[in-house]
C-alpha cells in the first residue's frame, strides 16, 4: 500500500539522515523524498512516499515520533491530505509538432518555461496521476530530460477543526 508521510522537524544537522535511516533500517524503500522550510523559522517539512506493510510502518512512525527533533508526524490515508508534485520536462518539439505540445500543455494547465528551436521545457504541477498522464502523452514526441520533485503534502483544513 502506498503511504505519504509528512514529518515536521527542527531544521538541524543530521535530522534528515536519522529519518531516512529509520525507514531504511526497517526495510522500507523511499519512493520520493522532499524537504523544505516551512513558514515557521527553524522548521522544515519532510514528505516521504513509500510502499509497505501497515504494521511495520506504524512501528516506524511511532519511532519517528520519539526522535528529539521531530515535532509532528502524519500518515495521510485516503483523502486526509492534499498532495502535489512538480515536473519539469524537456520535450522534443520542432516547428511541426510544437502546436500539439502546446495544446497538451494547455489541457494539463502546464507552463512553457523555455523555448528552443527543437525543444520546449514545460512545467506541470498536480497529483501523481496527472503527472503520469501528461508524461505518457508527451512521450511520443520524445523526452530529452526530466526532473520531478516527488510529493509535497499537507493535512486538509477541515480535519484540523
Tell me how far apart the alpha carbons of residues 59 and 27 are, in angstroms, rounded to a whole number: 12
The helix/strand/coil state of 39 is: coil
Predicted pLDDT at 47: 95
**pLDDT at res. 160:** 57
pTM: 0.84
Instruction: Return the CATH number at 7.
Output: 3.30.70.260
How far apart CA 45 and CA 81 sit, in angstroms, is: 14
- Cell match 489541457: residue? 107
Q: Look at residues 25, 52, 77 and tell me which one is the last residue of a structural domain.
A: 77
Q: Cα–Cα distance between 152 and 149 in angstroms, integer? A: 8
Per-residue pLDDT tens digits of the chain, which is 161 residues long: 788 999 999 999 999 999 999 999 888 899 999 999 999 999 999 999 998 888 888 888 999 999 999 999 999 876 788 999 999 999 999 989 999 999 999 999 999 999 999 999 999 999 999 999 999 999 999 999 999 998 999 988 865 55
Q: Which residues constitute the domain of residue 134?
A: 82-154
Polymer length in residues for the chain = 161
Q: Which residues pair with 36 in a beta bridge?
A: 45
Q: Same domain for 73 and 45?
A: yes
72, 105: one domain: no
Q: Write down which residue in 54, 77, 100 finishes a domain.
A: 77
73 and 86 in a single domain? The answer is no
Which pLDDT belongs to residue 159?
A: 54
**86/125 Cα distance (integer angstroms):** 4
Q: Residue 161: inside a domain, yes or no?
A: no
Which residue has cell 514529518?
A: 7
Three cell numbers at 85? 508534485
For residue 104, give the CATH number of its domain. Answer: 3.30.70.1150
Report how many domains make up the chain. 2
C-beta of residue 33 within 8 angstroms of C-beta of residue 150 = yes
Domain ends where: 18, 52, 77?
77
Same domain, 71 and 110: no
Amino acid at each position: 500500500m502506498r503511504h505519504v508521510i509528512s514529518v515536521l522537524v527542527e531544521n538541524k544537522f543530521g535530522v534528515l539522515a536519522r529519518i531516512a535511516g529509520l525507514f531504511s533500517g526497517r526495510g522500507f524503500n523511499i519512493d520520493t523524498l522532499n524537504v523544505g522550510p516551512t513558514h515557521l523559522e527553524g522548521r522544515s517539512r519532510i514528505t516521504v512516499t513509500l510502499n509497505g506493510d501497515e504494521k511495520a510502518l506504524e512501528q516506524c512512525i511511532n519511532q519517528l515520533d520519539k526522535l528529539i527533533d521531530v515535532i509532528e508526524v502524519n500518515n495521510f490515508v485516503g483523502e486526509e491530505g492534499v498532495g502535489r508534485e512538480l515536473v519539469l520536462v524537456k520535450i522534443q518539439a520542432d516547428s511541426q509538432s510544437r502546436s500539439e505540445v502546446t495544446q497538451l500543455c494547455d489541457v494539463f494547465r502546464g507552463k512553457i518555461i523555455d523555448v528552443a528551436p527543437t525543444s520546449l521545457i514545460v512545467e506541470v504541477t498536480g497529483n501523481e496521476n496527472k503527472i503520469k498522464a501528461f508524461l505518457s502523452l508527451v512521450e511520443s514526441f520524445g523526452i530529452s530530460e526530466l526532473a520531478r520533485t516527488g510529493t509535497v503534502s499537507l493535512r486538509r483544513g477541515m480535519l484540523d477543526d
